[in-house]
Amino acid sequence: MAGLVPVIGLDKFHYAIVTTDTTSESTYEASVAVPNLNQANIAFNGTASTWFADNGPAVISSQIGEVEVEIVIGDLPPADYAKLIGATRTDGKIAYNKNANAPDCAIAFRLMKSDGSFRYVWLLKGKFAHPDQNAQSKQDSVEFQPQTLMFKGVARLSDGNVYFRIDDNDADLPAPALETIATEFFLDPDYVPPTT
């Protein structure tokens, strides 16, 4: 049953550039897979505020805050690096201008749970900050130096949604979805589980 076992793994990092996000629709470019995902740490920064009346707590309001995601991967391929930070890339040369602005994009990944089931996640809109680069000389023992990316997410204009999440061991997930979700979920941030 969904939610009864802990997460033990992570893979399948994808991103999709937002092409349209208006009050009537959101659209995306084709999604891109980036290998060697090591970590995805999501901070939703949710809050719950209490209003007091008649000498006690009367109303509680909760909301999601600024969504922050730290992604750790082996490295970003040059084309993806340039695209996600808003740089230009010509003949293998990446140029980052002081006026560059990263594009809006969606990101996805899959979490493995200890019973062999998976949780699939799309964060629907946000931007990557220009990543830092830390490196040190190789020594007697190798210390891996992966790339860390910081992503900040917001709600889409079209529907106010911030993220989608599907657990493939959720009893309410239509059975036909189990046959294709491992591949089709990552094709479209607006993936809808098939019912037939």
Does residue 83 lie in a domain region? yes
Residue 26 is predicted with a pLDDT of 98
Residue 111 lies in a domain: yes
As given in the structure block, the two tokens for residue 179 are 């046959």
In a domain, 193, yes or no: no
The alpha helices in the chain, defined as continuous H runs, are 78-85, 177-184
> Where in the sequence is the domain holding 26, given as residue range(s)?
7-132+145-187
Domain annotation covers residue 20:
yes
pLDDT of residue 192: 96
195 within domain boundaries: no
196 is a domain residue: no
Q: Which phi-psi region, left, alpha or beta, contains residue 173 (left: φ > 0; alpha: ψ -120 to 50)?
A: beta
pLDDT tens by residue, the chain, 196 residues: 555 789 999 999 999 999 999 999 999 999 999 999 999 999 999 999 999 999 999 999 998 888 999 999 999 999 999 999 999 999 999 999 999 999 999 999 999 999 999 999 999 999 999 988 888 898 888 888 899 999 999 999 999 999 999 999 999 999 999 999 999 999 999 999 999 8
Q: Per the structure, how many domains does the chain have?
A: 1
Residue type present at position 117:
S
Residue 156 domain flag: yes
pLDDT (0 to 100) of residue 82: 96
**Residue 1 domain-assigned?**
no
CA 40 remoteness from chain centre:
8
